[in-house]
Amino acid sequence: MAPPDRLSELPDCLLQSILSSLRARQVVQTTALSRRWRDVWRGVLRLDIDQREFQAAEAPADRDGRRDKSVELEEWARFDDFADNLLLHHGGGGGDDGDNLPLDALRLHVVDKRDSSRRRLPRYTRWLEWVHGCLDRYRPTALEIHSDFDMTVDLRLMGLRSDLTRLNTLRLNGVLHAGGFGDSDDSSVCPQLEHVEFSSCAIGFEGVVTARTLKKLVVNRCWRRNDTKEEAAPRPRVQAPALTSLRLVVTFQDDIWVFEMPSLVEASIRASRHFVNTDDEYELLCNLYNVTRLELSGFMAIEKIRPKNGGHQDLPKFHNLSTLLLEDCDLTGEVYNMLDLFLYNAPKLEELTLQNCKLPQEWSKSKKMCLNLKFTEINCHEQVRQVNH
């Protein structure tokens, strides 16, 4: 006698919650398990559609790693067929508005190792049409798009064509991004957008960009598109009145945006020492005055980043700052050093952590200012005093 199938006895809502952790192709394959599972997948509220599932594992490649074009075309065809059928049958099927199933999350991962999407424009256009069909049908709360080629995502145009009114979280990786955050002067195509992450993206918008509802922003190793880098082109200025959390990983000279974020509570800034424009770095530091928690990594000495044109801005008072982490920072300086400025300008500072930092001369004397703090020092070294002979 066969043992009872305890899993299949679970209610649909629990089975669909389990299936939500799988990729879409695996979800659909559960229909072959038994008659009980035939329609369970239709109600899954998180879809992860990944083109890599349709790549042949043992496909032959030449010496440069390029695979046969016919194999790639066959993979795209199988992926297209799957995507079309998924859109047709998931959520009840039939295509009527009553069958639409609002999703908690929609994740798309598209690859093209030959970087040939431009040469195969009809296929790329068809893929974008399918994306808009997904947005119209599912109206996801969270949308994540990963692209291994130059896929353009213009949030403003996308919202004018499809329904993004439920969108709360947006994650973009490896895309060409334009259209800001979907806001115009008096309206927004994403009225509930609160959480945005850009990773390895080429940013195509410039000028003033408004994000009225945005609360959390992550910009990780992004850069400005070549067509927006003219000498006179202003850096993007992001106006985010509700933003409370900011995380930046900056690697190129022109990828520090200008931020207006009066409600900011926490910030984490990691800067490359070889490419970041020092004036921009100092301006960004001054714009973090409202935070209660601040993490800085890779910052140069304050005397090196402070503008020397006579119109410099003094480091502001950090009236709310209670927790400060400095990592891989140069805290030295003959007249100014970043550590002393923070200690004097942050009256509510309670916790200070220094990790792999270059400390100022006679740090042991300045260290007395940390007696009333929860203070941690890890792998730091003091600047060596130079002796003139």
pLDDT bucket at 368, cuts 50 / 70 / 90: low
pLDDT bucket at 350, cuts 50 / 70 / 90: very high
Residue 303: CB atoms within 10 A of its CB come to 15
Question: What is the average pLDDT across 54-60?
Answer: 69
Helix (H) or strand (E) holding 281: helix 278-286
pLDDT bucket at 43, cuts 50 / 70 / 90: very high
Query: Is the pLDDT score of 211 beyond 50?
Result: yes
Which of the listed ranges 87-91, 100-104, 167-171 does the model predict with the highest average pLDDT? 167-171
- pLDDT at 170 (0 to 100): 95
Question: What is the average pLDDT across 128-142?
Answer: 87
Alpha-carbon distances of 228 from 180, 182, 236, 277, 343, rounded to whole Å: 14, 19, 10, 17, 40
pLDDT bucket at 97, cuts 50 / 70 / 90: very low
Find residue 297's DSSP bridge partners.
Answer: 270, 327
Question: What is the average pLDDT across 300-319?
Answer: 70
Query: Is the pLDDT score of 376 beyond 80?
Result: yes
Query: Is the pLDDT score of 312 beyond 50?
Result: no
* pLDDT tens digits, 139-165: 999 999 998 766 778 888 888 888 899
* pLDDT tens digits, 215-274: 999 999 888 776 555 555 667 788 999 999 999 998 755 556 788 999 999 999 998 755
Q: Name which of 104, 87, 84 is nearest 13 in CA terms.
A: 104
What secondary structure does DSSP assign to 183-231, as a single string?
B-SS-BS-TT--EEEEES-EE---SEEE-SS--EEEEES-EE-GGG--T
List the single range of 31-45, 167-181, 295-309 with lowest mean pLDDT: 295-309
- pLDDT at 327 (0 to 100): 93
> When comparing pLDDT for 14 and 250, which is higher?
14
Question: What is the average pLDDT across 22-38?
Answer: 90
Token duo for residue 289: 């005055």
> When comparing pLDDT for 66 and 41, which is higher?
41
Which of the listed ranges 93-102, 249-258, 339-348 does the model predict with the highest average pLDDT? 339-348
Query: Is the pLDDT score of 353 beyond 70?
Result: yes
List the single range of 36-40, 75-79, 86-90, 193-197 with lowest mean pLDDT: 75-79
- pLDDT at 388 (0 to 100): 45
pLDDT bucket at 96, cuts 50 / 70 / 90: very low
What secondary structure does DSSP assign to 23-34, as a single string?
-HHHHHHGGGT-
Mean pLDDT of all residues belonging to the chain: 80
pLDDT bucket at 57, cuts 50 / 70 / 90: low
Find residue 172's DSSP bridge partners.
Answer: 145, 198
Q: What angle do CA 271, 273, 274 make, to 5 degrees?
A: 120
